[in-house]
Amino acid sequence: MVVGVHRPTKLVIDRQALRENIHTAVSRLAPGCELFMVVKANGYGHGAIQVAQAAKDAGATGFCVAILDEALELRAAGFNEPILVLGVGDPADAPLMAEKRISATVAAQDWLTEAHQYLALAHVTAPLQVHLGLDTGMGRIGFKTSSSLQTAVAYLNAHADLNFEGIFTHFSTADSSDDHYFKQQVATWKALTSKLTRLPRYVHVSNSATSLWHAECNDNMVRFGVAGYGLNPSGTEVAAPYTLHPAMRLVSELVHVKRVVAGESVGYGATYTAQQPEWVGTVPIGYADGYERRLQGFHVLIDGQPCEIIGRVCMDQLMVRLPREFARGTRVTLVGRDGDESISLQDVADYCGTIHYEIACGFTARLPRVYEN
């Protein structure tokens, strides 16, 4: 997708906010515990390479991604730190992962067996670094029984081209005020890992939420995700133990301003009709940029004032009701602060009935990312 550099709409990413969030998280870790920054999905929409550099500057010692291509992007950009692919990939890619020193998540014995066959055929000199994933209640991927886990560990120990580098699980309710299910998962994790005679270099269960509210579970590595971007993993359910600094703003400008009279309609389907003479402004952003169509009735900020989005959000444009006439080129804030008013990603998510993760990740490549600080 083309990047829209010739229009005034852009995402502004504050690198200092990223560094502060990550540095604070690192400072709270026990001695010997490392922080891997999660930069999957283009750094949760913030830009993977730029986030990775800010994280490295703030003390992160490695990175987590979702798919192999995201890891290769980091390697191509010159990052030599450990990189873990959290998703299950294709065993045929095992030689490439070994060559590039990219660690693989393994969730089943048949994957290991097939990967070993590909490694043998490729005659790769470096071993494949393996992190065994355990399903303790997330229900997504991972070994579920002690016997299957021990079989996998024995297989790793028996083959020199496979290195048992890590073991982990993922908690599904660490961001909840009700910790009943969380404690069940912790118990399952302990029961599975207690049967192992040797633990690998990296033992990790903590995502952002776990590191914030259950730091006693951190083991020796934390996968720090959404909190690094200044967003509370629980939304509004549980307060963060320290201040998180949102790193993303979304801004644009008015490209057209007009006066409408009572009875005139605005937008597709004529879903908004003026009841009196009004000033209407057009903003060059729409659902093709990831600004949701369902945001009709929400608001943006102009000159420090909330201005309602009227009519349906179009693919590339939206219209807002103005309190008075504004000049073309007047700044519009869709996410961020303007004067005494602010709109957070959480506010946008609440209006859409979703979570801020989805909003941030949904902003498309057509929106340029501009970096400050």
Q: 275: domain CATH number?
A: 2.40.37.10
Q: How far apart are CA 34 and CA 75, in angstroms?
A: 20
Q: Does the residue 118 lie in any domain?
A: yes
Output the pLDDT for position 100.
Answer: 97
Per-residue pLDDT of the chain (373 residues; tens, 9 = 90+): 899 999 999 999 999 999 999 999 999 999 999 999 999 999 999 999 999 999 999 999 999 999 999 999 999 999 999 999 999 999 999 999 999 999 999 999 999 999 999 999 998 889 999 999 999 999 999 999 999 999 999 999 999 999 999 999 999 999 999 999 999 999 999 999 998 999 999 999 999 999 999 999 999 999 999 999 999 999 999 999 999 999 999 999 999 999 999 999 999 999 999 999 999 999 999 999 999 999 999 999 999 999 999 999 999 999 999 999 999 999 999 999 999 999 999 999 999 999 999 999 999 999 999 999 9
Is the same domain home to 223 and 254?
no
Known binding residues for substrate are 140, 315
Q: 75 — phi, psi (to 5°)?
A: -60, -40
The interaxial angle of helices 180-193 and 146-158, nearest 10 deg, is 40
Is the same domain home to 292 and 253?
yes
Is the same domain home to 262 and 201?
no
Which entry of 10, 40, 229, 291 is annotated as an active-site residue?
A: 40
Q: β-strand 102-106 against 128-134: which pairing, if any?
A: parallel
Domain final residue pick, 200, 229, 258 = 229
- Global pTM value: 0.95
Known binding residues are 140, 315
Is the same domain home to 262 and 145?
no
Is 242 catalytic? The answer is no
CATH number at residue 203: 3.20.20.10
Q: How far apart are CA 81 and CA 94, in angstroms?
A: 19
Is 40 catalytic? The answer is yes
Output the pLDDT for position 90.
Answer: 98
Q: Does the residue 319 lie in any domain?
A: yes
Output the pLDDT for position 124.
Answer: 87
Domain encompassing residue 364: 248-372
User: Which residues lie closer than 8 Å to 6 by C-beta, 6 or more apart?
Assistant: none
Is the same domain home to 263 and 183?
no
Is the same domain home to 152 and 189?
yes
Q: How many CB atoms lie within 10 A of CB 333?
A: 22
Which entry of 183, 190, 242, 268 is annotated as an active-site residue?
A: 268
